[in-house]
Structures are given as structure tokens and as C-alpha cells.
């Protein structure tokens, strides 16, 4: 029997956090993500093109329209605030230079809010960003297109740690 | 003296720390700290104008297909006497098309993981998934009852597939000596009049000195043995076919990104001798050397294209027309699907063009055929491949709308399906 939409969304937020801001390590915040990006990920989970068992189980058997309405609803959650606490200016500066060099803000936009198929990065959990970047780099996370694998081909592990540090804190 | 002064000034500019008086008073205004200067990464854009950025973002097609009533049929345009209709809908990311001997149409995926068969069953068209869980299964070929599927790193074969669409045989790997890379890492295959299998192995980058295994088209025996390089210096080809008379091999090729709005153009090339080099990464369009990789090289070293197909227009599938339905001016002409640009602020392509040849195989003309996929600088569909049916009508796949269309000529004289 089809579950009502709000019950489904509530189930998502058990892990992804109240209002779409995750409090669990390596689980991404969903607030402020573009609906199209969310739909692509939900689709890839349903088809097991992206393998994360809990997400594959959650999306199994959902119809195309159920995926669409889930994505549209979750996209309306507010963006997560940037990570607080003291910051290391040297790391921020290194990350800024990398971003300039690799043109990250070309697709992710100058405020890192993402658009269409490109995810929001601003205020994302740092540990999740590190995990995602590493998985794109070593091909363990299958991306929908090749953009991130292309970019990460030229970025070292040390550099991607700086990128995640910056993006989690960017205002 | 003047020269010495100039040298000193240059030193001061290069090394601003020297500007602080040695051992004396600190300057009234402290020098700003040295900022790390971003250096250009080869092949990455250097575009100062941030406002155009979002117009140049790569375009992801929706993962879910449009429903039949959402398809852009009303906006599509053809020369007089031609008509277009929906052949099949609901095929997300519909890519390469191939026709089986018994009339089955096979459709592949690039971003997704499936291969479909469209078959006639008691007069009704039926859509079946015949393989799933595949890795970028873009390449398809059909030969003597077998469907060949090329994934990122292997080619497999499904024997007697048309007799077993309901219960397809397990794919048998025939060739897997392929590099694994994301950039241009999907394949296109075809089987030539010489009964050999041809496969594209693209460059693993936008522009770079490619590894020895990349930026080429290979040919091999149908059992996977005897692989050799057939064409070199090919950045990425996602469409090729053989001239029905001369049997010469023509292929489409994508030019590099991020050079400029108008350069380079995508190409149509012809191989006249195995092993020829088509210029990547040193020369583009047969006319100019690459701004990063072309130093010390000359375009005279390489084969020139037979036609330029528009900057960033993304020329994909191509087939020679040998059918009887279209007017005779189209006989032995090449129909080429242009997927449409992303690396250009004003989109071009997003159509099917027809290239007519002279007797000697050179290009006589190039004209639009099926247009209308770009509306207000946005895609409403993106053509990928063309395939002719036995009656001479043409199928066109669309990986944006997730559909296959059929183009016919002859209006009322054509029998209803």
C-alpha cells in the first residue's frame, strides 16, 4: 500500500535530520538541494546504480511520480547553516585557490547553492563532502555524468580535505 | 642605465617583498600578503565573465522519460513531404539504435544501465528490457542474429537474441582490453563490410596528451582477437558508418571544449588508409594547432576532416541512406544526429543534418533535416542516433525526452501503421 507523502518525508528526516539538516556523520543534509539533483539521486538509488543499502531499500518499488513528489517536497526544506567555530584561514585560502583553479563555482554557482542537476555544497556536512569527493575520485560512487570524476582526477586527497573544510563553512 | 632601471623595476614587480626597505623603518603601508595565484589547468576554462557561467554548465538529461503526450513532436520541423511520429516512448536516456534481421529495434543507454528491445507482437509494438545493471552500455551492433553490447570496459554478445527476447541469453564477453575512464569512457561499435568489429576508445580528458590506449578507433575480429588501431588522434567518436558504394569508413568526432564559442568545430572524417592520424590533441579542424598542446606541431602532419559540423554541436550517430522511401536526392547521403552544444552560450545543433557527397566521397553539401529541438536556447529534446527501417523510414533516438521517433516520406501514400 502506498505510504502518504508526508510519512515518507518524515522517514527520510529521521536520518537526514530535522528540517533537512543532518546530525549524523556521513549522512548528507538535504535542505536547499535542487529538486532535479534529488530526483536523479532517488532514481539512481531505486535502480541500484548508486549503492547505499538503506537508500536502495527505501526507494525500492517507488513509482516515477512518487520519486518526483519526494524530490519536490524535500527540495523545499531550508538550506543548512554553515558550520560554526573558529576557522583556519590558511585552509580556507588554499581551498579558494583550488576552487578558482578548477572552476567549481562554474557549475555549483558562486554561492555554492547548486542548480538543476548540480548539488548545493554550501553548509553541507564536512565528513559527507570528504566521503563523496573520495568516492567520485576512486570511482566507487557512480555519478550520473562524468564531470566530478574529470575534476577529481587532478585533485589530491589533501586538497579535497581543504575543499570540504571550506564548503562546510562557506557563508 | 635605462635598461638597468627597467630590470630593477621588473624585479620589484616580481618580488614585492624587496619593496620593504631592508633594515630600515617598516613601510607606512604594509604590503598585502602574497596571494597564491591560480594557474590555469590545461583544458579548464578561463572565462572572466561570471555572468555567462551558468549558460555553459553541462546539461544533464532527466533520468525519467517524458510521457508520450509531453514529447516535443509539434515543435519539430522537416522538409516538405516528410512527417514525424512517436515510434516508442518511455525509454529513459535512449541512445544508440540498431535493427535486428527480424525487425527488432534495439536501444541502448549511456547514463543509465539498460538495453531495450522494441519488437512487434501481434501487430502491437512492445518494449522490453533485455539487459540491465550494465556499465554505460552505449555501444550496440547487430550481426548474424547476435547483438553486441559495448560497455565501458568490455564488449559482450547475445546470440540469437531475436528468438529469445522474453528470456535473453547470458551475455558472453568477447573483448575486454579497454581502459576504464569516466571522461569519454562510453563506447560506440559497428561491424564493417570486412566483418570486423570497430570500436571507439576516446580520450580520457577534454584536452591532454592521451595514453597510448586512448584517442583512437580500433578494429578487431568478431571473436575479440587481432585488435589493431584503425584510426589515431581521434578525441571521441560516437558515430560511424561505411559508404555503401566505396565501403570507406566515415566517422563523426567531437572537438575539444573551452577553446572559444566558435572553435573548434566538430568534424566528419574519412579513413582512406588504416592507421591515419586525425590530429588530436595537436591540431583541430585541419586548420589550427591547439593553444596548449599544439606548440611545435603543424596541421600538415595530420588528416583533414571532410566536413566541419559546427562548434560544440556534438555530432553523434550517423548512417548512409540506402532505402527506397526518401526521394532519390538522399540516396547514399549521410544523416547525422547532432546532440547539440553545451559548451557554448548560444546553443547550436540539436537536430539531424544531411550531408551529401560527391562521387569521389568528398562533401558536396550539408543541410538541416530535422530541427526544432532547441527552443529559446533550451533543449526540448536531443537527438542521438539515426537508424533506417526496412521500409526506408528513419528512426531517431532522443536521450533527453527518452523516446524514439520515426520519420516517413510520402504523406497520404504511406500506409497507416
**Which chain A residues have a beta carbon less than 8 Å from that of B42?**
none
The answer to whether A31 and A18 have CB atoms below 8 angstroms apart is no
User: pLDDT tens, B346-403?
Assistant: 999 999 999 999 999 999 999 999 999 999 999 999 999 999 999 999 999 999 999 9
**Per-residue pLDDT, B49:** 61
The pLDDT, as a whole number, for residue B412 is 57
Q: What is the phi/psi pair of residue A100, to 5°? A: -65, -45
ipTM of the modeled complex: 0.86
Q: How many CB atoms lie within 10 A of CB B37?
A: 8
Provide the grid cell at B81: 513531404
Q: Residue A91, by phi and psi: left (phi above 0), alpha (psi -120 to 50) or beta?
A: alpha
Q: Domains of chain A, with CATH numbers?
A: 5-74 (1.10.760.10), 89-169 (1.10.760.10)
> If we measure between CA atoms, which residue out of A107, A110, A29, A109 comes closest to residue A75?
A29
Q: Tell if the CB–CB gap between A101 and B50 is shorter than 8 Å.
A: no
Q: Is-contact B95 B107, C-beta < 8 A?
A: yes
pLDDT level of residue B50 (50, 70, 90 thresholds): low
- Residue B119, classed as helix, strand or coil, is strand
Name the residue among A49, A110, A118 with its Cβ closest to that of B50. Answer: A110
In whole angstroms, give the CA distance from residue B224 to residue A80.
Answer: 53
Chain A residues within 8 angstroms (CB to CB) of chain B: 36, 39-40, 43-44, 47-49, 64, 67-68, 93-94, 97, 100-103, 105-107, 109-110, 115-118, 139, 143-147, 149-150, 153-154
Average pLDDT, chain B: 90
Residue B267 · residue B305 · CB < 8 Å: yes
Query: Is the model's pLDDT at A42 over the cut of 70?
Result: yes
* Model pLDDT for residues A121-171, shown as the tens digit of each residue: 999 999 999 999 999 988 888 888 888 888 888 899 999 999 999 999 998
> Under a CB-based contact definition with an 8 Å cutoff, are residues B183 and A150 in contact?
yes
Amino acid at each position: 500500500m502506498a505510504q502518504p507523502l508526508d510519512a515518507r518525508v518524515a522517514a527520510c528526516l529521521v536520518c537526514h535530520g530535522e528540517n533537512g539538516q543532518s546530525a549524523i556523520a556521513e549522512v548528507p543534509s538535504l535542505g536547499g538541494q535542487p529538486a532535479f539533483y534529488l530526483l536523479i539521486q532517488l532514481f539512481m538509488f531505486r535502480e541500484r546504480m548508486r549503492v547505499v543499502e538503506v537508500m536502495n531499500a527505501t526507494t525500492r518499488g517507488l513509482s516515477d511520480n512518487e520519486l518526483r513528489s519526494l524530490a519536490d517536497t524535500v527540495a523545499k526544506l531550508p538550506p543548512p547553516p554553515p558550520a560554526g567555530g573558529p576557522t583556519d584561514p590558511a585552509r580556507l585560502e588554499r581551498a579558494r585557490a583550488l576552487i578558482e583553479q578548477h572552476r567549481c563555482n562554474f557549475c555549483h554557482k558562486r554561492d555554492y547553492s547548486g542548480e538543476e542537476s548540480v548539488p548545493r555544497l554550501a553548509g553541507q556536512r564536512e565528513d559527507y563532502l570528504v566521503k563523496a569527493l573520495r568516492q567520485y575520485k576512486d570511482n566507487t560512487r557512480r555519478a550520473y555524468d562524468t564531470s566530478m570524476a574529470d575534476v577529481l582526477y587532478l585533485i589530491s586527497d589533501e586538497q579535497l580535505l581543504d575543499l570540504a573544510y571550506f564548503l562546510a563553512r562557506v557563508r | 642605465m635605462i635598461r638597468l632601471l627597467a630590470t630593477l623595476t621588473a624585479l620589484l614587480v616580481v618580488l614585492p617583498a624587496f619593496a620593504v626597505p631592508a633594515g630600515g623603518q617598516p613601510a607606512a603601508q604594509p604590503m598585502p600578503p602574497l596571494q597564491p595565484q591560480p594557474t590555469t589547468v590545461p583544458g579548464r576554462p578561463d572565462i572572466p565573465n561570471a555572468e555567462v557561467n551558468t549558460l555553459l554548465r553541462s546539461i544533464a538529461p532527466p533520468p525519467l522519460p517524458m510521457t508520450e503526450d509531453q514529447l516535443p513532436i509539434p515543435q519539430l520541423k522537416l522538409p516538405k513531404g516528410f512527417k514525424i511520429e512517436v515510434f516508442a516512448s518511455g525509454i529513459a536516456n535512449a541512445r544508440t539504435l540498431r535493427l535486428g534481421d527480424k525487425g527488432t529495434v534495439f536501444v541502448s543507454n549511456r547514463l543509465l544501465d539498460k538495453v531495450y528491445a522494441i519488437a512487434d507482437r501481434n501487430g502491437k509494438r512492445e518494449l522490453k528490457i533485455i539487459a540491465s545493471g550494465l556499465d554505460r552500455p552505449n555501444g550496440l551492433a547487430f550481426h548474424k542474429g547476435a547483438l553486441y553490447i559495448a560497455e565501458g570496459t568490455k564488449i559482450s554478445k547475445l546470440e540469437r537474441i531475436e528468438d529469445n527476447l522474453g528470456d535473453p541469453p547470458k551475455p558472453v564477453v568477447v573483448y575486454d582490453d579497454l581502459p576504464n575512464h569516466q571522461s569519454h569512457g562510453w563506447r560506440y561499435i559497428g561491424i564493417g563490410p570486412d566483418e570486423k568489429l570497430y570500436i571507439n576508445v576516446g580520450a580520457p580528458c577534454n584536452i591532454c596528451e592521451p595514453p597510448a590506449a586512448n584517442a583512437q578507433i580500433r578494429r578487431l575480429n568478431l571473436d575479440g582477437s587481432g585488435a589493431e588501431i584503425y584510426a589515431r588522434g581521434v578525441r571521441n567518436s560516437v558515430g560511424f558508418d561505411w559508404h555503401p558504394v566505396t565501403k570507406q569508413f566515415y566517422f563523426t568526432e567531437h572537438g575539444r571544449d573551452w577553446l572559444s564559442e566558435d572553435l573548434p568545430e566538430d568534424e566528419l572524417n574519412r579513413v582512406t588508409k588504416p592507421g591515419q592520424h586525425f590530429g588530436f590533441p595537436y591540431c583541430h579542424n585541419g586548420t589550427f594547432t591547439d593553444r596548449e598542446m599544439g606548440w611545435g606541431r603543424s596541421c600538415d602532419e595530420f588528416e583533414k576532416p571532410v566536413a566541419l559540423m559546427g562548434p560544440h554541436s556534438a555530432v553523434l550517430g550517423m548512417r548512409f541512406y540506402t532505402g527506397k522511401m526518401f526521394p532519390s536526392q538522399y540516396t547514399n547521403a549521410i544523416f547525422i544526429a547532432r546532440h547539440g552544444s553545451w559548451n557554448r552560450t548560444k546553443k547550436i545543433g540539436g537536430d539531424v543534418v544531411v550531408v551529401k557527397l560527391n562521387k569521389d566521397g568528398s562533401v558536396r553539401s550539408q543541410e538541416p533535416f530535422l530541427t526544432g529541438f532547441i527552443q529559446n536556447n533550451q533543449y526540448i529534446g536531443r537527438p542521438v542516433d539515426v537508424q533506417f527501417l526496412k521500409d526506408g523510414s528513419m528512426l531517431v533516438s532522443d536521450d533527453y525526452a527518452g523516446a524514439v521517433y520515426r520519420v516517413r516520406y510520402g504523406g497520404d501514400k504511406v500506409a497507416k501503421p
